[in-house]
Amino acid sequence: MKRLWLLQVSVAGVLMLAIAACTIAPGISPSPTHEDGVRTQTMENDLHLTTRHTVRDVVNLPAFAGFGKFILPLDRGRYDEAMPLERVASLLPYHSHVTAEAVVHTINDMVDKAASGELGFYDFYTDRQKQLDATKASTGLFFFRGKPGAPFAVICPGGGFSYVASIHEGFPHALALSQKGYNAFVLQYRVGGERIATQDLAAALSFIFENAAALAVSTKDYSLWGSSAGARMVARIGSYGAGVYGGADLPRPSTVVMAYTGHTDFTEQDPPTFAVVGDRDGIASPATMERRVNALRGAGVNVEFHVYRGVGHGFGLGNGTAAEGWLDDATRFWEDHSSSPSTPAAPSVRLS
């Protein structure tokens, strides 16, 4: 518990420094011009961004001190700090329907959440664990606060285990769920392979259960949400439990939500599963997903499956496509398979 308390103090301190900086000297000074002639845009009057701001501006936002490098998918290690956000889709090659305007909207919502104390970031590995394995330093949990005592969801974005697409299919989902009153976590996991990523999910779940009282979340009827590679991770925990992947011996999730994945493994003990895919997905075949869904149903698992017309891989919330609104359907499915009454919901706001 001491580690959690120190992290909370650290986040609070960062926010105080950010507020002080805005009071004394509003704005962020522009960076030097690079060889390509691109200059980062000065943020005047507040800490909100536009599509003309750069990757560097996001990483260096005072509101994101300590975790700014995890906001955009920079895991592959090769990116241009001076790249304007209007080109952000180039950082997500496995995803579709990525718009710079939606990305900036999400970032600005997160800035506001951080300022109000509704967004936190937590290490789930100890300093000792990170000393023994330096790769664990590239992990963490974003926490989007809902109603105190409400159930929680852990969201695992995809990216082919080469990057973590939180900005497209993690943070927007968490913002929407927290607006409904649920507590939502977005996992920043290690890239490089399914097993180490799933181990990070197991460790993160163990951290949440251990610190549930301090986080003010209910561990009853929690759900796991994953997209593409992230869907493989949540399916593994749903099938075999966190203990198999190095975590504590925890209850299985009440619901698993899976978006566009080619994962085929399952057990007869799998939790109720909600699955979605686009009919034009060239990475995760709708037919492959349907075969798994039918197998789950044959094993007695409750499944709801949606295929959306004209939609490709990595559609995120699916705004502006036939998939728009799927998160509301998935939330209803989660509520229907919870043993406790539904959480009183705040008005649902879809992100654009």
Looking at residue 47, its pLDDT comes to 79
Q: Which CATH number fits the domain that encloses residue 251? A: 3.40.50.1820
User: How many CA atoms are closer than 13 Å to the CA of 320, on its beta-carbon side?
Assistant: 10
Is 188 within a domain?
yes
User: How many domains does one find in the chain?
Assistant: 1
Looking at residue 248, its pLDDT comes to 97
| pLDDT tens profile 13-29 | 433 333 333 332 222 22
Looking at residue 79, its pLDDT comes to 86
Average pLDDT, the chain: 86
| pLDDT tens profile 29-70 | 222 223 333 333 334 335 799 999 999 999 999 999 999 999
Overall average pLDDT of the 118-132 stretch: 97
Percent of the chain surpassing pLDDT 90? 81
| pLDDT tens profile 249-293 | 999 999 999 999 999 999 999 999 999 999 999 999 999 999 999
Q: Sign of torsion, CA 227 232 238 244?
A: negative
Is residue 188 a contact partner of residue 138, using CB atoms and an 8 Å limit? yes
pLDDT > 80? residue 82: yes
Going by pLDDT thresholds of 50, 70 and 90, the confidence category of residue 78 is: confident
Looking at residue 76, its pLDDT comes to 78
Going by pLDDT thresholds of 50, 70 and 90, the confidence category of residue 340 is: low
Q: What is the pTM of this model?
A: 0.84
Overall average pLDDT of the 293-302 stretch: 97
Overall average pLDDT of the 164-178 stretch: 98
- The side-by-side arrangement of strands in the sheet containing 119-122 is 119-122, 140-144, 183-188, 151-156, 218-227, 255-259, 273-278, 303-308
Domain that holds residue 233: 114-336
